[in-house]
Amino acid sequence: MVVIEPGAGTLAPVAIGSVLAVMIYAGGHVSGAHYNPAVTLAVWLRGKCDSKDVLPYIAAQAVAGVVAALLVLFLKQNPVVTAATPKVLPALLAEFVFTFALCFVVLNVATAEGTEGNSYFGFAIGFTVLAGAYAVGSISGGAFNPAVAVGITVMGLSAAHNIWIFLVANLLGGAVAAAAFKAVSPSGE
């Protein structure tokens, strides 16, 4: 589900994680590189995102997911795709665990005082997505991002009635990551 043929095949997670890392370096100084509503939620709950920015960020992320999906469909010349039908419980768990991991990594490498100014944050985040895509991509599709879930739904890679799996698991993963970060780093260090 992570690629429409012709594509990167088994290297798709490497491409996805690498592009995410590069885009984080490119956009970090502009918006904090919020490309994921679950990350925005986690960073907001952690206290490092202004409340006034949350809804505009999430709206922009969702629109970007739709635009990216339409662009892929255009570039691939409207390919025939079959919507995945994941098993609900394994998909919920897979999406929750790796969205939690992603958001927890973001909070620790991009918002903690102890890692301030590091040069590895983009790769840590990108490689978390890469690892998750290899680990559970065949179970859930490896979205770990509600905006990606919107995109894969628009593309027909996931049936519309399954979008709730991603929204619930991803947003819950982000919220739990923020709570875990606060529990292990109460001073924000």
d(CA 5, CA 18): 19
The length of the chain, given as a count of residues: 189
Residues 5-17: tens digit of each pLDDT? 777 788 999 999 9
d(CA 97, CA 52): 28
Phi, psi (rounded to 5 degrees) for 155: -75, -15
Residues 58-104: tens digit of each pLDDT? 999 999 999 999 999 999 998 989 899 999 999 999 999 999 999 99
pTM for this one? 0.94
Q: Which of 150, 152, 105 is nearest to 127 (CA)?
A: 105
CATH number of 10-184: 1.20.1080.10
Residues 9-46: tens digit of each pLDDT? 889 999 999 999 999 999 988 888 889 999 999 999 99
Residues 140-178: tens digit of each pLDDT? 999 999 999 999 999 999 999 999 999 999 999 999 999
Helix axes 37-46, 146-154, angle to 10 degrees: 170
Residue 117 has pLDDT above 50, yes or no: yes
Q: What burial class does residue 186 get, using C-beta atoms within 10 Å of its C-beta: 0-12 exposed, 13-18 middle, 19+ buried?
A: exposed
Q: What is the pLDDT of residue 48?
A: 95
Q: Domain residue spans in the chain?
A: 10-184
